[in-house]
């Protein structure tokens, strides 16, 4: 385990405050140079287990440690950097987030605080590009800001560790935030920096953290203010009814919650109107031009665009509106497009949620109450809606990224003798099976699905390197093919009640040879009431399918009832887990 580096004091003649700042700068630089990402994460979040630690290490990399210093002017700051062997020519930009935090913490007018941010580069132990993030609040001699400097040096509020998110997809971001929360890290603010187009998420480290740093930052390039709003909401909730700074918040908080339906419909309307396809991420487009392109009423479109800008889906600039990284995901042409999800959540699922109270009173899904049949039967009668549903399932593909590396699949791929077969039960259009077979060229696959879905699956898989190694079987859960080596049930069991789950699992157990493995992909409800995506999806499943999310212990009981045993479970993205089961 690394020890915290000692302060290195300069020998040049400086004031006591300047000497203190140089020592803190020097210590921070030494710390950044020596850290290994995996080791540092394990010390920041000591509760991380091996698989989850590996998953977080794949998604994050240690980027910098931050320190707040208080030079009287910029020339002095440059000399202090040079005294610490840090590049003195690092460019400086305004620091939006820290400036606001200081103003709130010390009850000062934000205009009185000149806070700059510099990131002089250093190298990690393997030559990695890292930085010391230097926040500099200008405090001239005799300034009324001197008490702020003294308090901040003593308390080190802004000292923190930062990890860059490797692939800042909103779904991955939500999964990372949930992982930090599960390990006891509490939301502690954040913000969007317009000057560098980046979003920061701050946490207070858990009580048992093993570093001297009490704050942790996740940094995601791009504009992720929608995810940030959720994070800040958790921060406000943790601060208590009066808020962090003693100002009443319950009414504002409730209003924000009540208007969540407006957000869903604004995003769905954006997708329905094909606004993203009519816009450009880099070149602004005027409202009048957009209205002509999509056939909309200009003034009404302007109102929608202002709201979308508030959500961070578009950005309003001097040359017009342009897409943010969030907005691009509503473009049907974008890789990983989530347009189908927006249309589903703003369409049939949104309408069924209007009957949530009926579901709670009666136990009947709101979807069935509204449409008179379950969602699978309803979609099967509407080919266009069925296609949209299948596409919406593909939109959640980031959840699958770590799964092909699961030890069960790796072992099957490297087993000697005959090629091993992976059977994907109710695998939709083959997104997951295609990923598994592409990652493991020695494996073969069988996709079990309804006849109307298999046509799209054949087309999708034929376009991948896995197509020639995949067979297709039309049928239902009663038709699980025997003789496979690995069986997969991905996001299937949460659609059904316990009795139906037992029926599905018994069909799997009957088909599985003694050596076979079963991998189940589902979100797991936390047992301690911590915030989780699974809690939200539990409500969604109850209202729309009559299904539910479950704890690992609940799944273990269902498996035991069907002659199967839960071997273990490992985390994936977006709050999901892979549960591994075998026959008893």
Q: Which of 160, 378, 406, 494 is catalytic?
A: 494
Cα 228 from Cα 380, distance rounded (Å)? 37
Q: Which two tokens stand for residue 432?
A: 């997951």
Q: b vs e for 202-213, b when ≥16 Cβ sit within 10 Å of the residue's Cβ? A: bbbbbeebebeb
Measured at the alpha carbon of residue 188, what is the angle toward residues 208 and 146, in degrees to the nearest 5?
A: 100
Contact between residue 523 and residue 531 where contact means Cβ atoms under 8 Å apart:
no
Nearest to 239 by CA among 226, 250, 228: 250
3-state helix, strand, coil in the chain (%, to 5): 45, 20, 35
Contact between residue 159 and residue 215 where contact means Cβ atoms under 8 Å apart:
yes
Cα 523 from Cα 533, distance rounded (Å)? 8
Contact between residue 487 and residue 511 where contact means Cβ atoms under 8 Å apart:
yes
Cα 280 from Cα 276, distance rounded (Å)? 7
Please tell me what DSSP assigns to residue 493: G
Contact between residue 305 and residue 317 where contact means Cβ atoms under 8 Å apart:
no
Cα 34 from Cα 100, distance rounded (Å)? 31
Q: Which two tokens stand for residue 412?
A: 């099957």
Q: What is the DSSP string of 34-82?
A: H--HHHHHHHHSTT--HHHHHHHHHHEEEEEEEEEE--SSHHHHHHHHH
Q: Please give the distance of CA 327 from its chain centroid, rounded to a whole number.
A: 16
121-123 and 92-94: which strand pairing? unpaired
Residue 225 to residues 197, 314, 423, 511, Cα–Cα distance (Å): 11, 11, 40, 47
Is residue 494 flagged as an active site residue?
yes
Cα 85 from Cα 65, distance rounded (Å)? 16
Name the residues annotated as catalytic. Answer: 494
């Amino acid at each position: 385990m690394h020890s915290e580096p000692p302060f290195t004091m300069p020998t040049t003649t400086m004031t006591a405050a300047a000497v203190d700042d140089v020592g803190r700068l020097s210590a921070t630089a030494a710390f950044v140079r020596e850290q290994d990402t995996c080791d540092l994460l394990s010390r920041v979040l000591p509760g991380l287990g091996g698989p989850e630690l590996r998953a977080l290490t794949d998604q994050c990399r240690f980027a910098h440690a931050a320190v707040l210093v208080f030079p009287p002017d910029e020339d002095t700051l440059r000399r202090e950097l040079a005294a610490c062997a840090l590049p003195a020519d690092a460019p400086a930009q305004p620091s939006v987030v820290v400036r606001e935090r200081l103003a709130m913490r010390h009850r000062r007018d934000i205009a009185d605080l000149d806070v700059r941010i510099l990131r002089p580069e250093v190298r990690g132990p393997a030559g990695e590009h890292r930085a010391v993030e230097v926040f500099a609040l200008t405090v001239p001699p005799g300034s009324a800001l001197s008490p702020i400097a003294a308090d901040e040096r003593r308390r080190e509020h802004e000292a923190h560790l930062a990890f860059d998110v490797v692939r800042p997809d909103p779904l991955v971001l939500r999964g990372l935030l949930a992982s930090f929360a599960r390990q006891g890290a509490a939301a502690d603010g954040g913000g969007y920096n317009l000057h560098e187009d980046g979003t920061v998420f701050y946490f207070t480290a858990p009580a048992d953290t093993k570093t001297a740093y009490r704050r942790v930052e996740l940094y995601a390039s791009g504009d992720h203010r929608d995810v940030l709003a959720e994070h800040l909401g958790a921060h406000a909730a943790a601060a208590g009814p009066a808020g962090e700074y003693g100002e009443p918040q319950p009414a504002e908080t409730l209003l924000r919650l009540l208007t969540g339906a407006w957000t869903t419909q604004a995003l769905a309307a954006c997708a329905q109107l094909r606004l993203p396809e009519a816009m450009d991420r880099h070149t602004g487009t005027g409202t009048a031009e957009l209205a002509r392109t999509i056939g909309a009423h200009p003034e009404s479109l302007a109102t929608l665009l202002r709201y979308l800008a508030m959500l961070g889906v578009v950005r309003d600039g001097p040359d017009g509106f342009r897409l943010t990284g969030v907005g691009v995901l509503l473009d049907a042409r974008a890789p990983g497009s989530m347009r189908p999800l927006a249309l589903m959540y703003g369409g049939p699922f949104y309408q069924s949620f209007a009957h949530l109270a009926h579901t709670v009173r009666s136990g009947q899904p709101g979807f069935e109450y509204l449409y008179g049949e379950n969602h699978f039967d309803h979609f099967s009668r509407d080919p266009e809606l069925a296609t949209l549903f299948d596409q919406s399932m593909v939109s959640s593909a980031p959840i699958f990224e770590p799964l092909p590396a699961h030890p069960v699949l790796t072992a099957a791929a490297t087993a000697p003798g005959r090629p091993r077969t992976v059977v994907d039960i109710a695998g939709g259009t083959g997104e997951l099976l295609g990923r598994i077979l592409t990652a493991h060229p020695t494996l073969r696959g069988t996709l079990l699905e309804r006849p109307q879905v298999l046509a799209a699956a054949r087309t999708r898989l034929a376009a991948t390197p896995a197509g020639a190694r995949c067979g297709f079987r039309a049928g239902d859960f009663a038709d699980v093919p025997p003789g496979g080596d690995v069986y997969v049930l991905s996001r299937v069991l949460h659609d059904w009640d316990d009795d139906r789950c037992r029926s599905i699992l018994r069909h799997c157990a009957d088909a599985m040879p003694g050596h076979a493995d079963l991998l189940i992909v589902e979100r797991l409800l936390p047992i301690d009431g911590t915030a989780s995506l699974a809690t939200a999806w539990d409500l969604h499943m109850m209202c729309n399918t009559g299904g539910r999310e479950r704890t690992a212990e609940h799944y273990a009981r269902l498996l035991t009832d069907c002659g199967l045993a839960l071997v273990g479970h490992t985390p994936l993205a977006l709050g999901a887990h892979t549960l591994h089961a075998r026959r008893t």
